[in-house]
Structure 1
Amino acid sequence: MVQNRIKGIYLAIIGSIFWGVQGPVSQWLFTDTQIAPEWLMGVKMGLSGIFLIGYALIKQPREVFTIWRQPKDLGRLFAFALLGLSAVQYFYFLTIQASNAPTTTILQQLGTIMIIILSLVLYRRGPSRAELIAVVIALLGTWLLVTKGQLTHLAISGSALGLGLYLAFSGALNTLIPVKLFQKYATLIVVGWAMLIGGVAFTIIHPFWRAVPPLNFATVASVLFIAIFGTALANVCFLGSLRYLTPTTAGLLNTFEPLAATIGTVLFLKTSLNVWEIVGGLLVISTVFILSWSPKKKIS
C-alpha cells in the first residue's frame, strides 16, 4: 500500500515537471513565432494520441478498442477529452499568452482548491489534515515562485485572471472526470483516445495545413517536445498517478509544475532566480514529504 502511494507520488511529480517545462517552451513559441494556440493544440494532441494509441496497440492490442463498446464509459471518455484534457491545455496556452508561464502556474494551482471542494460535494470526502497543511504550504511556495517575494505585486490583467480561473476549473475536471475510467482501463489507452479526440476537435477548429507557422529546426523541436514530453508523457504519468492517489493528493503534487516552469523560464528565457523563488521551490518540494509521511486522518 505504501509502495503504491510512493509510486503514485513519483508519477504525479514527473508528470507535473514535464507539464511545467512545457510552459516556457510554449511561451517562446507564442512570442517568437506567432504560432496560433489552436494550431498547436491540434498538432500536439493529434501527435500525442497517435503515439500513445500506437504504443498501446503493440503492448495491449486486445484492450485498445474495448472502451468504444461501452456507451457509458465512452460518454465519460468524451467528457474527459473535451471538458478536461483539451480544456485544461487550451486555457493553459491562452493564459500564457495573456500573461506568462510562471504566472499561469499559480492560477492553475487554484484547481487544487476546486478539487477539494468538488470532492467534498460529489464524494462527501473531506481533506485529511496532511492535505490541508500541504495546500497551505504548496500555495505559499507557488506564490513566492511567481511573485519573487513581493507578495502584493502579482500584476495580471483581468483577461488573464478570467482565463486562469477557467484553467483552474478545467484542471479540476481533468483530474476528477477520468478516475472511474482508470479503474477499468489502462491509463495509456484512456489518455491516448482522449488525446486523439481532442486533436480531431482542434483540427476541425484550425486545420493544421492552414496558416502553418514558419517551421525551422527550433520550432519543430519545440513542438515535438511539447507533444511527446509536455503532453503525452506528462498526462500519462500524472493521470496514471490517480490509480494510487486521491484526486486531492495528485492535485497537490501538481505544484511541482510551477517549480519546473520557473526553472525552465530561467534556462530557456534567460531570467534569474532570487532567494524568495528558491525558498518557494523548497516549500513546493516539501509537500511530497508531508503527503508521504503524515497520517491520513480526515478533517470532519
Structure 2
Amino acid sequence: MGMNKIPPFLLLLIATILWGGNFVIGRAVANELPPFTLAFLRWCTACIVFLPLAWVPLKRDWLTIRKHFPAVLFMSFTGVASFNTLVYIALHHTTSINASLMNTSTPILIYILSFIFLKERLTRNQMIGTVISLIGVLFIISKGSLASLLQFSFNLGDIIMLVAVICWSAYSLLVKHFSGKLPGNATFLVSIFIGIIMLFPFFIYEVTNPAVHIIWSVTSISSILYTGIFASIVAFICWNTGVIRLGANKAGIYLNFIPVFAALFAVLFIGESLKVFQAAGGILVILGVFLTSREKIWGLRQKLNLSQQIK
C-alpha cells in the first residue's frame, strides 16, 4: 500500500508513536550507550538510509544550499548535533516521561524566541498560553515542590532537556526563515552529514576513553537502528506526508501525543510510573500550547516540513 492510501491521521499517529519511543529508547540504553555514541551512530544510520532518497534532489539543489550554507551549518548544529544528543544526555539523569513532557513546551519557546528576535506581536491568547505553559514546565522540573522552586533545586536532566528544547526552537526559527529558500530533503541530508562531522570527535572520545562504558548487545544495536531508521527517516516521511494531506494547523495538534505515547511505553517497557506532578504539569503545558495554537504563531513550527524531521 502506497503512502497516499494511508489515512493522514494514521500517518501522523505513526510519527508521534515513533518520536515518543525515541525518549524511552534513550532512557532504556542509558547504561549501555553513552549519549554521543548513540547520537553519532543514529545519524550515520539515518544518512545511509536517506542518501538514496535525497541524492538526486541534492545534486539538483546543491547550489542553493551552498548559497545559504551558514544557515545550514547552524541548522546542523542546533537540530542534528545538539538537540538529540542533549536529549540523550538528559535521559541519563531524568525519566523519559519528564523529558517528553518538557519537549511539549517547544512551541511556546519558539513563540518566545520569535517575539524576542523577530519582534512578533503578543496577543492575549499567546500571553496567557505562554504563562500557563511555563508554569507547567516549572511544575515538572520542580516536581511540584514550591521549596525546590524557591531554592532553585532542579534535576540536572530536566535542565539539560530545557537546553535541548531551546536548541530545537532556534533550529525551528531558522527553518521558518529559510522555508521558501532551502529545499527540504536535500537540506535535511546535508544537515545530517554536517551533524555527523560535528559529533565525530565526541564519538571518538567516548569509544577510546576507558572510563566510558559501552555495551554492544542486541538491545543497544536495535536502539541505534530504531532511532536511525524509524525515529528519524520513517517518522519524517510519515509526518510530512500527513502534514501535506491534512494541513499544518490540524497536524500540529498531533504533536501532543508524543508525551502520551512516551509515558505509555515508559510504564509498559522500562518500569517508569506517571507521577501526579508530571500529569499536572503536562496538562498545563498542553493547555498553554492549545491556547497559543489558535494564533498564527503556531505555524512557526507546524507548517514547515523541515522542522519535524529529526525528533
Task: Output the TM-score relative to the length of structure 1.
Answer: 0.71
What is residue 303 of structure 2 aligned with on the other side?
none
Q: Is the 8 A contact 1:16 1:234 kept in 2?
A: yes
Per-residue CA distance 1:206-243 (angstroms, 9 max, x = gap)? 14994593333222222211111223334556688898
The answer for unaligned runs of 5 or more in structure 1 is 1-6
Match of 2:305 in 1: none
Which SS does the other structure have where 1:64 is aligned?
helix
Query: Counterpart of 1:49 in structure 2: which amino acid?
Result: C
The size of the alignment, in residue pairs, is 280
- 1:116-160 Cα shifts (integer Å, max 9, x gaps): 12212333333566656665676677788x69xx73389774533
User: After the TM superposition, which of the residue ranges 261-270 and 277-286 deviates more from structure 2?
Assistant: 277-286
Q: Which moved more, 1:230-239 or 1:257-266?
A: 230-239
Q: 1:68 aligns with which of 62, 72, 93?
A: 62
Correspondence for 1:171 among 168, 174, 189: 168
| Cα distance in 1, alignment partners of residues 290 and 105 from structure 2 | 21
Q: Which moved more, 1:35-44 or 1:115-124?
A: 115-124
After superposition, the Cα gap between the structure-2 partners of 1:77 and 1:241, relative to the gap in structure 1 and judged at 3 Å, is farther
Change (3 A) 1:220 1:127: farther
2-side partners of 1:9 and 1:127: how far apart?
Answer: 31
- For each residue in 1:92-129, what CA deviation from the matched residue of structure 2 results, as whole angstroms up to 9, or x when unmatched? 11111122212223333443332112212333333566
Once the 2 structures are TM-superposed, how far is the Cα of residue 198 of structure 1 from its aligned partner?
1.0
Contact in 1 for aligned 2:129/2:290 (Cα 8 Å): no
Write the deviation string for residues 72-101 of structure 1: whole angstroms up to 9, x where unpaired.
322211110112332111111111112221
- 2:46: which partner in 1? 48
Shift of the alpha carbon at 1:181? 3.9
Per the normalisation by structure 2, the TM-score is 0.69
Distance in 2 between residues matched to 1:128 and 1:13, nearest whole Å: 30
User: Which residue among 59, 62, 79 is the counterpart of 1:84?
Assistant: 79
Structure 2 CA distance for partners of 1:28 and 1:168, relative to 1, 3 Å:
same
Residue of structure 2 in register with 1:203 after alignment? 200
Shift of 1:256: 3.1
Measured on the aligned residues, the alpha-carbon RMSD in Å equals 4.3
Classify 1:64/1:203 alpha carbon distance in 2 versus 1 (closer, same or farther; 3 Å). same
Shift of 1:170: 0.3
Q: Which residue of 1 aligns with 2:111?
A: 116
